Structure 1
């Protein structure tokens, strides 16, 4: 498993993402059914996870979730599934499945997905205002 190595530049996808996200690019991982490799990972992200070897569980989570997501295509009537976006306090994570065995995970700071972050924040605010649920840790996107 190439879970400890990070590609040293020259990767066209990373170059493209850096041109779009700049320093807000947190990481890029490509995986297949057996392995994964970092195309890029920002130093502070590596430090937060205690090293690159701790990403194996993250990659497994995305790899295993994808067949479930793909099976929903026929029930959603929204066309083909291209990407799953997860928005967290400190990251927006985009998962691009490529069939059942391959995929790419891109992590950026939430400011890169500013329109999505703002829309999500507005929805959360309204949802929690109109429901019995309460949110104690409102994100500050």
Structure 2
């Protein structure tokens, strides 16, 4: 695992503790999981993780359209809120980014996660 991946996992764990579920990264052609908590891993087959990565790639393709529609500048991150947790995707390039999943009862805001990712990755 690249040093930056370790640093990002460490920084996120320091901030949210055991509420951290998943840390992953992707570019145009690949997807890698840097961290997945054991109980989370037990709930997903590898093909399901691949499906999530594919969904993420599709979402990235719509970023330019969203930037044009909303006229708020570059789309830097998205947050998806679910019943049991939330997922933050932070864009780090035209077709690359980091995916972070955190338990719903964590006392952290999506914006905090984005700032941690940017501080460590950039």
Displaced runs of 4 or more, over 4 A: 113-116
TM-score by length of structure 1 reads 0.68
What is the distance in 1 between the residues matched to 2:12 and 2:108? 16
How far has the Cα of 1:90 moved from its partner? 1.1
Counterpart contact for 1:30–1:36, Cα < 8 Å: yes
Where does residue 111 of structure 1 map in the other structure?
A: 105
Candidates 72, 76, 87, aligned match of 1:82: 76
Offset from partner CA, 1:19-55 (integer Å, 9 cap, x none): 11100000011111111111100011111113x4430
Where does residue 48 of structure 2 map in the other structure?
A: 54
Tell me: higher relative CO, structure 1 or 2? Use CA pairs within 8 A at least 6 residues apart.
Answer: 2
How far has the Cα of 1:64 moved from its partner? 1.2
How far has the Cα of 1:115 moved from its partner? 6.2
Counterpart contact for 2:60–2:95, Cα < 8 Å: no
Offset from partner CA, 1:82-140 (integer Å, 9 cap, x none): 11000001110001122232111000001225667xxxxxxxxxxxxxxxxxxxxxxxx
Counterpart contact for 1:30–1:105, Cα < 8 Å: yes
Report how many residues are paired: 108
Q: Could you list the runs of 5+ residues in structure 1 that have no partner in the other structure? A: 1-6, 117-141
Structure whose alpha-carbon radius of gyration is higher = 1
